[in-house]
Amino acid sequence: MRERREYAEPFKIKAVESIQLIPRDMRLQAISDAGYNVFNLPSEAVYVDLLTDSGTSAMSDRQWSVLMHGDEAYAGSTSYRRLREVVEEVFGYPYVAPTHQGRAAEHILMTMLVKPGDRVLGNMHFDTTQGHILLKDAEPVDLVFPEGLDPQAELPFKGNIDLAALERELGEHAAGRQRVPFVLITVTCNNNGGQPVSMANIRDASRLARQYGVPVFFDAARFAENCYFVREREPGYAAKSVAEIAREMFSYGAGCTMSAKKDGLVNIGGFLAFRDEATYRQAVQWQIVFEGFATYGGLAGRDLEAMAQGLREVLSPEYLENRIGQVSYLAERLDELGVPRVRPAGGHGVYVDARPMLPQVEPGRFPGQAVVTALYEEGGVRAVELGSLAFARRDAKTGETIYPPNELVRLAIPRRVYTDRHMDHVARTMGLVMKRRHELRGLRLLSEAPVLRHFTARLEPLP
């Protein structure tokens, strides 16, 4: 599949932020002090920070300027109205409840609609989504088609739902609608590599769900990247604008949760949006207790302004070409070094496949985390493990550890922040890790929290 294309730089730099690569001995000390967990590193000890693409975007001059228009009224803010108009224009959903970030929108949606014993179906639920479903004593069910989990399968839409599995689940559980409150489609699918979902798959999944009277919602965090891939890869969409594609995509759903920290191009913010007023009214009840009044939802008026402006900018074809192009650029540099990775490259980053890279390190010794710590040691690059450290869980019945299907290392690229020279540094650093890879023995846990342990765990390298 064609990943790399020529792309222009559709912006120049107006403000700069200093970063430095601290000396190697200091990096070794910093990662040791951090308990070999990059979440514990002070950010000034990081040179190129690819921990996440969330909340790390550079805002545009337009976004900075609209901050001054923020209306900080507690109720009836004009900034809220501007956000509502843009969301309706982009998503086609007229009812909008702002939240402080994506997981807050999930919190409200799950509180409204999920009951104990329910099965929430989706392609792949993000970890906070899973967490909110589990907190309701319900079951998050991932139905991504099997090749979606094969890092080597070079397919255009690896975020697609397995429609046969969806039909089976709906047939078995949706009778009476007690057991499947909704289907949640995550675009793009973060957990398996930022992989897009095709329009055809969304259309078919939504038709199936409708047959069973089950609504479809989207986790829209990276919707623009998904829509760009539809235009590039799906027959019949090359002549459409990304905005038109987005309108079609959301027309198949009843609403969405949004982490605007990704494709809203802001540092904080999110929302819920609905087609239907009654559902929105229900959401507002919870929004007010969890987040804040209906017209600010835990955000400042200026944040609402920046989010509205960001949602307009993210659909620019030049921006998206550059964005996806940069991800492919890094992927290509890693290919030159023979680094195993998820294919094709995703929308928001490159996912390195740690299992073939470190075959000597078994899942219980966290091969992904071994690559993550080596990347920091070799070049001050901060990546994140999406493997056994993040996702292994103990079976409630047998007590056995269930390992995730893959041991991945995500190099998530913040939007509009780094140049391709930063990407060259990342690739060079990965080259140094490749040279050292046979020496890496993995790590062992010293302490862990009962849920989402990767954020706070402390580890030590095995000798």
Q: Clarify whether 74 is annotated catalytic.
A: yes
Distance CA(263)–CA(384), nearest Å, equals: 20
Catalytic one of 71, 118, 142, 219: 219
438 is a catalytic site residue: no
In the set 125, 261, 348, 454, the catalytic residue is 454
Q: Give the nearer residue to ligand F0G in terms of CB position, either 54 or 328.
A: 54
Catalytic-residue membership of 25: no
Q: Footprint of ligand F0G on this chain (CB under 6 A)? A: 52, 54, 101-103, 126, 128, 186, 190, 219, 221, 259, 261, 270
**What's the CA angle centered on 250, arms 248 and 256, to 5 degrees?**
170
Shortest distance, CB of residue 20 to ligand F0G, whole angstroms? 24
Q: Check if 221 is active-site.
A: yes
**Pair 274, 95: CB distance under 8 Å:** yes
Tell which residue, 186, 201, 182, has the closest CA to residue 126. 186
Give yes or no for a contact between 47 and 19, defined as CB atoms under 8 angstroms apart: yes
Q: Which is catalytic among the residues 49, 53, 118, 127?
A: 127
Cα–Cα dist 51/409, whole Å: 10
Question: Measured from the CB of residue 270, what is the shortest distance to ligand F0G in angstroms?
Answer: 5
Tell me the two tokens of residue 146: 């099997």
| CA atoms in the 13 A half-sphere facing the CB of 236 | 5
Q: Which residues pair with 186 in a beta bridge?
A: 219
For ligand F0G, the closer of residues 52 and 309 by Cβ is 52
Identified catalytic residue from 39, 74, 435, 438:
74
Catalytic residue list contains 454: yes
User: Cα 206 to the chain's mean position, in Å?
Assistant: 22
240's tokens: 């459409």
- For ligand F0G, which is the closer residue by CB, 112 or 337? 112
C-alpha distances (whole Å) from 432 to each of 32, 180, 427, 463 are: 19, 48, 9, 20
At closest approach, how far in Å is the CB of 297 from ligand F0G? 13
| 261 is annotated as an active-site residue | no
**CA angle in degrees (0–180, nearest 5) for 131-343-235:** 95
User: How many residues are recorded in the chain?
Assistant: 463
Which residue, 261 or 437, is less far from ligand F0G as judged by CB?
261
| Smallest separation, CB 126 to ligand F0G (Å) | 4
Minimum distance, C-beta of residue 37 to ligand F0G, in the bound complex (Å) = 15
Of residues 216 and 221, the one with the C-beta less far from ligand F0G? 221
CB of 221 to ligand F0G, least distance (A): 4
In a 10 Å sphere around its CB, with 0-12 CB exposed, 13-18 middle and 19+ buried, how is residue 300 labelled?
middle
- Nearer CB in complex with ligand F0G: 257/437: 257
Residue 280 and residue 292: Cα distance in Å, rounded? 15
- What token pair was written down for 389? 């450290």
Shortest spacing between CB 274 and ligand F0G, in angstroms: 17
Q: Which is nearer to ligand F0G, 111 or 259 (CB)?
A: 259
Closest C-alpha among 296, 289, 285 to residue 112: 285
Cβ atoms within 10 Å of 318's Cβ, excluding its own: 12
Q: Which residues are catalytic?
A: 74, 126-127, 219, 221, 262, 454
